[in-house]
Structure 1
């Protein structure tokens, strides 16, 4: 298994996730739409959003699964996502809204070496 992560979280995001877990229990994330930096992933109580074959789990942040739709994954599969927190309002159903902040997605392209490692891993599955 590779040590390359597709999704990471800043310390601020991890702190907020811990706070939200205390209030709401287990959580899950879904990157619903958005094509670039500045998009807001949605945070739900775990199981409140049904995921299926049309969704890809990129990994976990703060012990919470992080999903994206398969078509969106095809667009973003060459990127590492970093989830951060900024002041403002996110999606109206996302749990962080009442805190006066929103989760924010930042991205960077994988290096050629990272992508080669990930591609080889996908082929072996």
Structure 2
């Protein structure tokens, strides 16, 4: 069964590129364009990895990361943060994400970080 990745990214083009890349790597991808949409997801389904953009129109990925890490049912699921505006240091100091992907991102780096994070889960 394919590993499931939840992607929270407001930019439609970036979201579609990430979906395409990860689906080619045989992952199941569920995408959300806003924090509200992400929060309304089916609570019975679980992801194997969360890939979260930081700057979103209705909130930010760091807050979502903090919420996921405080929730018993999601605290052990790896989180990768993405941003064109924040630094790895900023993210490391603010939430317990397993990694950071700067935008524009390198496709091989994205695939490697996702693969490593899922394998170590």
Bigger fraction of residues in strand: 1
TM-score, scaled relative to structure 2: 0.25
TM-score, scaled relative to structure 1: 0.24
Q: Pick 1 or 2: higher relative contact order, CA cutoff 8 A, min separation 6.
A: 1
Bigger fraction of residues in helix: 2
